[in-house]
């Protein structure tokens, strides 16, 4: 009798071990897919302002002030159209020619800063384009 109990228990252990391995592999696959999916560039509409004025500088009237402040050492920031969120730019050289302008930026948010991959000029009227609500 003990032999049959041990045999049944051994089969049960093997089944659990196989199921555990399968679940671990599936979990790792899903984690990897999430990481790779999150690495894609996203696109937002907004303004290139300066860190001193922030969202107050999200207009065409602010261009000269933004250029002056950035020339004096302030950092360029991106201000979203939708929610006026102010986001630091990790590579300011990418937006050097668009300071004070309404733009569409493509890039990646990393450690609270936007790494700009591409910049496209938009109408200077502003708008209600996509915000960065997913970037808290």
More confident residue, 6 or 26: 26
Number of neighbouring beta carbons within 10 Å of residue 56:
14
Instruction: Please count the CA atoms within 13 angstroms of the CA of 129 that sit on its side-chain side.
Output: 18
pLDDT tens-digit readout, 11-60 = 666 666 667 776 666 777 777 666 665 556 899 999 999 999 999 999 99
Measured CA to CA, the distance from residue 45 to residue 80 in angstroms comes to 6
Measured CA to CA, the distance from residue 89 to residue 1 in angstroms comes to 72
pLDDT tens-digit readout, 78-132 = 999 999 999 999 999 999 999 999 999 999 998 899 999 999 999 877 554 445 4
Handedness of CA 18, 20, 26, 28 (dihedral sign): negative
pLDDT tens-digit readout, 61-89 = 999 999 999 999 999 999 999 999 999 99
Handedness of CA 54, 60, 62, 65 (dihedral sign): positive
Helix (H, G, I), strand (E, B) or coil at 108: strand
Q: How far is CA 10 from CA 15, 27, 34, in A?
A: 9, 26, 36
Main-chain dihedrals φ then ψ at residue 74, nearest 5 degrees: -70, 155
Q: For residue 92, what pLDDT is reported?
A: 96
pTM score? 0.65
């Amino acid at each position: 009798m003990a032999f049959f109990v041990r045999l049944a228990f051994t089969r049960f252990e093997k089944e659990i071990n196989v199921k555990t391995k399968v679940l671990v592999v599936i979990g790792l696959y899903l984690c990897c897919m999430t990481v790779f999916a999150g690495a894609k560039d996203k696109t937002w509409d907004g303004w290139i302002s300066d860190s001193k004025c922030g969202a107050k500088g999200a207009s065409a009237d602010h261009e000269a002030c933004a250029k002056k402040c950035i020339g004096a050492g302030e950092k360029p920031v991106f201000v979203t159209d939708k929610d006026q969120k102010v986001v630091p730019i990790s590579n300011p050289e990418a937006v050097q020619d668009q300071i004070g302008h309404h733009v569409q930026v493509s890039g990646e948010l990393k450690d609270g800063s936007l790494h700009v991959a591409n910049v496209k000029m938009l109408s200077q009227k502003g708008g209600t384009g996509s915000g960065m609500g997913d970037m808290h």
